[in-house]
Amino acid sequence: MTSTTHTHSHREGGTHSPKHRTPAEYSEVLASLPVGGNPFSSFIACPINLRYEMQQQDEKILLFLRQHPVVLMPWVLLGIAMVLAPMIAFPFLFPFLGLPANLAFVIVLAWYLLTAGVLIERFLIWLFNSFIITDERMIDIDFLSLIYKRVNYAQIDKIQDINTRVGGVLYSLLNVGTVFVQTAAEVPEFAIDSIKHPAKVAKLLNELLQEEELEKIEGRVR
């Protein structure tokens, strides 16, 4: 999937309703971002071929967010250590313990299997822990482990306050930070942590909120 330069027709699918403005018409942020992109990316505007469970027919995903890949760095280092461990430690450890060759071989195999399992699990959790902003609501999807899933929804018009926080040398260099969204929904606060371009995300949420208010004032119906 390749990124293409943004045009209105990309987002609208060629149709234009006089009553309903398209996101690109009211959002400077979306107008400045390329449409689609690598499905493994941590910041995708108007993703192509991506839908979430419970998505309504006329609901459009405007921004798909994951944590910046820098959060995987400890796991990458752990993975490298686990891959190298049998080559470095086991040749000394096994003769010391006096393990039979067949048992030592099975332990090495099991070790690499465990390494693969741990890394796949962390990668999957990173890949699917996501935050989605649509033209109607925001959705926070959390997979805290392989057996625990939590999905929180909040309508855009329930947003009350938006704050951003960028801290740390590495995060400042990479422009990674956290966006806090206070809502009047069942979940009082959404924390979108370790995401790229937190200021852009906050601005987009503000633009969506303003548009929702305009829709109410002008009596525009979706």
Partner 1 sequence: MNTLLAQSQVLGTNDQLIPLLFSDQTPFVIIKFLVLAALTLYLVFGLVMIRQIGLMTDTIKSSINPGLKLIGYIHMLAAILVWLFAMALL
Q: Which residues bind partner 1 (CB under 8 A)?
A: 1, 39-40, 47, 49-53, 99-100, 102-103, 105-107, 109-110, 113-114, 116-117, 120-121, 124, 127-128, 130, 141, 143, 146-147, 149, 151
Sort strands 137-145 and 148-155 into parallel, antiparallel or unpaired. Answer: antiparallel
Q: How far apart are CA 128 and CA 130, in angstroms?
A: 6
Closest approach, Cβ 79 to partner 1, in A, equals 15
Distance CA 22, CA 8 (A): 8
CB of 52 to partner 1, least distance (A): 5
CB of 171 to partner 1, least distance (A): 25
Residue 57 CB, shortest distance to partner 1, in Å, is 14
C-alpha torsion angle, residues 162, 132, 153, 184 (rounded to 10): 10
Distance CA 115, CA 120 (A): 9
When the beta carbons of 120 and 184 are compared against partner 1, the nearer one is 120
Give CA separation, 39 vs 23, 48, 64, 147, 183, in Å. 21, 9, 10, 24, 29
Using the minimum distance from each CB to partner 1, give the nearer residue, 8 or 51. Answer: 51
Toward partner 1, which CB reaches closer, 100 or 219? 100
Considering the complex, state which of residue 86 and residue 177 has its C-beta at the smaller distance from partner 1.
86
